[in-house]
Amino acid sequence: MINIMLTAALVLFAIAILISLCRIIIGPSLPDRIIALDMIGVHLVSTIAIISVIFQTTAFLEVILILAILSFISTIAFSKYIERGVIIERKHDR
C-alpha cells in the first residue's frame, strides 16, 4: 500500500514536470519560461524527498536544501537580467 502510494506520488510529480516542460517549449515570453523553470526546480526538490523515502536513506537530504538554494538564486539572476539588462552592476564612483 505504502509503496503504491509512493510510486503514484512520483508519477504525479513526473507528469507535473512534463507539463511545465511543455510550458517552457511553447511559452510566448521569457518570464513564462522562467516561471516554469522555477516550478521544475521546486518539483525536483520534492521528487528527491520521495526518492529518499523509497530508498530508505537519509543521504539525499542535503540535496534538497542545496537544490532549493540554487533554484532561488538562478530565478533571481534571471529576473534581474530581464529587468535591468545586467546581473552584477558595476560601481559608478570609481
Cell numbers linked to 39: 516550478
CB of 55 to other proteins, least distance (A): 12
CB of 24 to other proteins, least distance (A): 10
Question: x-or-dash pattern for other proteins, window 3-42, by CB under 8 A?
Answer: --xx-xxx-xx-xxx-xx-xx-----xxxx-xxx-xx--x
Using CA atoms of 63, 10, 19, 78 in order, give the dihedral in degrees to the nearest 10: -10
* Residue 20: burial class (beta carbons within 10 Å; 0-12, 13-18, 19+): buried
Residue 62 host element (H or E): helix 61-84
Residue 49 host element (H or E): helix 30-54
Contact positions vs other proteins (CB under 8 A): 1-2, 5-6, 8-10, 12-13, 15-17, 19-20, 22-23, 29-32, 34-36, 38-39, 42-43, 45-46, 49-50, 52-53, 58, 61-62, 64-65, 68-69, 71-72, 75-76, 78-80, 82-83
